């Protein structure tokens, strides 16, 4: 796994995979054959998302909800 931010040890989201410590976060994808590579224009935006959603309120994250609905919800 690439080295990332110091915040990685605080991440609680089960779909988080890693970040590059600058502007990218990689999450589990909506299928078993992909990952989501999310990039921000500025480091401060990436850091805000990481601390707000990945470390705390991950159930409110759009990425979490998309992955949960597409792969894990069994409401069929």
Q: What is the pLDDT of residue 44?
A: 95
Say which DSSP state 7 is in.
G
Token pair of 45, please?
Answer: 């935006």
Instruction: State the chain's mean pLDDT as an integer.
Output: 90
* Global confidence as pTM: 0.84
Q: What is the pLDDT of residue 8?
A: 86
Task: Tell me the pLDDT band of 71, cut-offs 50, 70 and 90.
Answer: confident
- What's the gap between Cα 55 and its chain centre? 9
Exposed/middle/buried for residue 70 (C-beta within 10 Å: 0-12, 13-18, 19+): exposed
| Residue range 27-64, pLDDT digits in tens | 999 999 999 999 999 999 999 999 999 999 999 999 99
């Amino acid at each position: 796994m690439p080295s990332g931010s110091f915040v990685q040890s605080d991440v609680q989201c089960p779909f988080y995979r890693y970040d590059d410590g600058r502007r990218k976060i990689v999450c589990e994808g909506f299928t078993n054959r992909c990952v989501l590579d999310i990039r921000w224009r500025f480091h401060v935006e990436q850091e805000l998302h990481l601390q707000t959603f990945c470390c705390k309120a991950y159930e409110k994250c759009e990425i979490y909800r998309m992955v949960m609905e597409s792969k894990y919800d069994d409401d069929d």
